[in-house]
Amino acid sequence: MTAYTATVTVRLKRGVLDPEAETTQQALERLGFDLSDLRSADRFEVDLDAADADEAAARADEMAERLLANPTIHDYDVAVAER
């Protein structure tokens, strides 16, 4: 078994309203920053032990499917690195 960290990034699908990102962008603009868009995402770093990187990625993927992401409104991606 090897120790891995799987990083799951969960973002809203294109077209889904994101009022938090919109408010953050407006606040930055009020502070004088010039930006054309801002998107927010959640990032989960999961430490787990697995036989190899493929198994770690498969388990993180299942965690995203079952709990971390809502497939109706979210896309996600998984990246695995040895810890």
Closest among 73, 82, 59, 50 to 8, alpha carbons compared: 59
Q: What count of other Cβ atoms lies within 10 Å of the Cβ of residue 44?
A: 17
Residues 3-42 as x/- pattern, contact with a copy of itself by CB under 8 A? x-----x-----------x--x--xx--x-xxxxxxxxxx
Residues 6+ apart with CB under 8 A from 15: none
Q: Supply the minimum distance, in Å, between the C-beta of residue 44 and a copy of itself.
A: 6
Of residues 42 through 81, those in contact with a copy of itself by CB under 8 A are 42-49, 59, 62-63, 66-68
Which helix (DSSP H) or strand (DSSP E) does residue 70 occupy? none
Given the rule CB under 8 A, which residues bind a copy of itself? 3, 9, 21, 24, 27-28, 31, 33-49, 59, 62-63, 66-68
